[in-house]
Structure 1
Amino acid sequence: MSISHFSATVWLAFLLVIALLALVYVLVQRRRTRRVLQFSNMELLESVAPKGPRVFRHAPVVLLLVGLVLLTVAAAGPQATKKVPRNRATVMLAIDVSLSMEATDVPPTRIQVAKKAGKDFVDGLPASINLGLVSFAGTASVLVSPTTNHGAVKAAIDNLKLAERTATGEGILTSLQSIDTLGTLLGGPEPPPARIVLMSDGKQTVPAFEDADNPRHEFVAARLAKTKNIPISTISFGTKWGTVEIPREDGSMQRVKVEVDDAAMQEIAKLSGGEFYTASTLQELSKVYDTLQEQIGFETTMGDASRPWLLLGLLITAAGVLTGLLYRQRLP
């Protein structure tokens, strides 16, 4: 029952009244004790005095005072931070499906682990989130437009197919287009908050990474996302020692190293105002997605926190009344 501040602090002044009541009770008890001691026949006093524990007789009053304190705190309107599901937010999940995702450095394969973690990520998002899915290899495709039907997104993740080359910039631009389209359909004075979650395991090959001025380049697309106030959370997935087998023209197979490109993923996140993550196991990828669920799916707001104080105050006050009736057959 943490408290950040109170909305009606004037009610806290009632704590002084409670303190005064406690003081009056103590004074009355002392005065009563002095009167009892005026009896000269102590043997007679001991014979008529109750044999029960003397401390317990104060329990009803103590419970009532504690209950009043808790009710006073509730009346003062305690405020606390709360996590609530976001409404109208849009999330585009962009997943790299280039052939390098066949690498087995993340067993059984990168793509299989990506599918499992991706579906778990979808399950953890609030139902009110508009979620879409984009896959990209040599080109990018919108598999699911932003929707609250998260089951459709999970089904599309299950059906991801691998293809040649990697066009990371296309994945970003296609995600931005889907977000813009949804914003147009929803209308309103301003578009809903949006974010792209981009997972890739390798370096961009389309267009050439060195062609930094190409409008389809991943860094150019990241800057565009920044101007639209759409941060990109990037996940660099895989290891430095991953390999895949690629067929040669003569039909034989050659083993090619497909190491992750952390530097490019980090730069995309930086340029767009997002966050950069790395993962090389299912556990690490799931942990990254859990973090993103908290950031994307929920927001921290200030809200009323008086209910626990009110309920506890009522219970303790009722306990004080009951104790007084059972122990002394009357209220204190």
Structure 2
Amino acid sequence: MSFLAPGRLWLLLGVAALLGAYLLLQRRRSRYAMRFTNLPLLERVAAATPGWRRHVPAGLFLSMLALLVVGFAQPTDEVQVPRERATVLVAVDVSLSMHATDVQPDRLAAARAAAAEFVGSLPREFNIGLIAFAGNATVVVPPVTDRDALRAGLDRLDIDSTGLAGTAIGEAIAASLEAVRTLDAQAAAEPPPARIVLLSDGANTAGRAPDTMAAEAAAAEIPVDTISVGTEDGEVAIGGQWQGVPVNGETLRAVAELTGGAYHEAGTATELRDVYADIGSSVGYRSEQRDVSSRFIGFGLVLALATAGSSMLWFSRIP
């Protein structure tokens, strides 16, 4: 924590001086009471002493002054602020291998559920788009702030049935970049801060080369976070026969490294949700120093009310 007006903190010396004066007065009062040697008579004529309660209003009052002085010095703290026009593209592999049930209930269903939680965790002002890819890539939902539209788009995701076999990771990145470039009228001249989150279970087998598109994303300063979902034991039925579809994350790892993103592995539905939660905690924010003096002033006002309340309750007066 830092202060915009640190010189004002010298006023805390005044608070310390008041504390010292209060302690001195209490000591003198104690000495005066000891001079009255007829203690039985003193007990009869003196009202019941409030004991420790008499110090509570003073303690609250001095604490209030200290908090108000700190607030007066305009403290600042680092806070995470959502970036204006922040845009996130979620690209999900819908190739046949995503039907494998090594991730329950299957890879695609787990991906849909985790992506829905991820979308719900991001600030409402974020633009979020959805890309589906197999042998090519399709924009299912362009970047919007409408969370209902995004959830509906996720529900519509299904295994590719167009006959275009393969996994086009490069095409998914290309479609995501185009969605960012066409976000709004000013996107071409002033690109929004953007990030791509790409989920797949295999290597690239169709379309443009992932490293070429990753280089384009890096040039546009758009990180690509990649998630490989699945295990070595994945299988799907093709033509009535079971075929192994082990997860292959090497291409995804390379894409993440080239773009400055992060590579994650998820072998279970729980791990997949954790990965999305980890990405969500860092995407689309910037650190900014903000004036937080209102915190201290607010707590100071609460203590002021507590000071008045305790004094009225025990001593029938406001200090």
User: By the TM > 0.5 criterion, same fold?
Assistant: yes
Q: 2:280: which partner in 1?
A: 293
**Residues 299 and 42 (structure 1 numbering): CA distance in 2 closer, same or farther, change over 3 Å?**
same
TM-score relative to the length of structure 2: 0.91
Deviation string 1:144-178 (CA, Å, 9 cap, x unpaired) is 22222232222122112323211111111111111
Q: Which amino acid aligns with 2:210?
A: E
Cα deviation, 1:151-207, whole Å, max 9, x if unaligned, reads: 222212211232321111111111111111226x23585311111111001111115
Query: Which residue in 2 is equivalent to 1:171?
Result: 172
* Pair 1:203-2:206 in alignment: no
The equivalences for 1:7-156 within 5 A come to: 7-39=4-36, 41-156=38-153
Aligned mates of 2:96, 2:140 — CA distance in 1: 18
Moved more, 58-67 or 233-242: 58-67
SS of the residue corresponding to residue 91 of structure 1 reads strand
Q: CA deviation at 1:6?
A: 1.8
CA pair 127-36 structure 1, distance change in 2 beyond 3 A: closer
CA contact (8 A) 2:201 2:247 kept: yes
Asked if the contact 2:195–2:222 (Cα under 8 Å) also holds between the matched residues in 1, the reply is yes
CA separation in 2, counterparts of 1:17 and 1:142?
Answer: 65
Counterpart for residue 229 of structure 1:
221
Task: Give the Å deviation of 1:263.
Answer: 1.6
1:243 matches 2:230: no
Q: Which moved more, 1:14-23 or 1:145-154?
A: 145-154
Q: Secondary structure at the match of 2:281?
A: helix
CA change 1:151–1:49 in 2 (3 A) is: same
SS at match of 2:102: coil
Separation in 2, partners of 1:187, 1:232: 19
Q: 1:250 maps to which residue?
A: none
Q: Matched residues in 2 for 1:25 and 1:269: separation? A: 63
The whole-number CA distance in structure 1 between the counterparts of 2:220 and 2:72 is 44
Distance (whole Å) between structure 1 residues aligned to residue 38 and residue 106 of structure 2: 93
Could you tell me how far apart the structure 2 residues matched to 1:107 and 1:331 are? 66
Is the contact between residue 243 and residue 256 of structure 1 (CA under 8 Å) also seen in structure 2? yes
Q: Is the 8 A contact 2:9 2:70 kept in 1?
A: yes
- After superposition, the C-alpha distances for 1:280-309 in whole angstroms (9 at most, x for unaligned) are 111111111111222124443322222332
Q: In 2 relative to 1, CA 329–168 (structure 1 residues): closer, same or farther, beyond 3 Å?
A: closer
**Letter in structure 2 aligned against 1:194:** A
The answer to whether the 8 Å contact 2:193/2:284 transfers is: no
Distance 1:52 1:180, change over 3 A: same
Specify the alignment match of 2:298 in structure 1.
311
Letter paired with 1:263 = E
Distance 1:125 1:43, change over 3 A: closer
Conserved 8 A contact 1:97-1:136? yes
The 1-side partners of 2:186 and 2:40 are apart by 89
Report if aligned partners of 1:126, 1:297 keep a CA contact under 8 Å in 2: no
Partner-residue secondary structure (3-state), 2:159: coil
**Aligned counterpart, 1:278:** 265
Shift of residue 105 of structure 1? Answer: 1.0
Aligned position for 1:268: 255
- The AA in structure 2 aligned to 1:177 is E
Q: For 1:110 and 1:32, locate their aligned partners in 2 and report how far apart those are by CA, in whole Å.
A: 78
Matched positions, count: 315
Amino acid at match of 2:269: L
Residue 296 of structure 1 aligns to a residue whose secondary structure is coil
Aligned mates of 2:227, 2:133 — CA distance in 1: 15
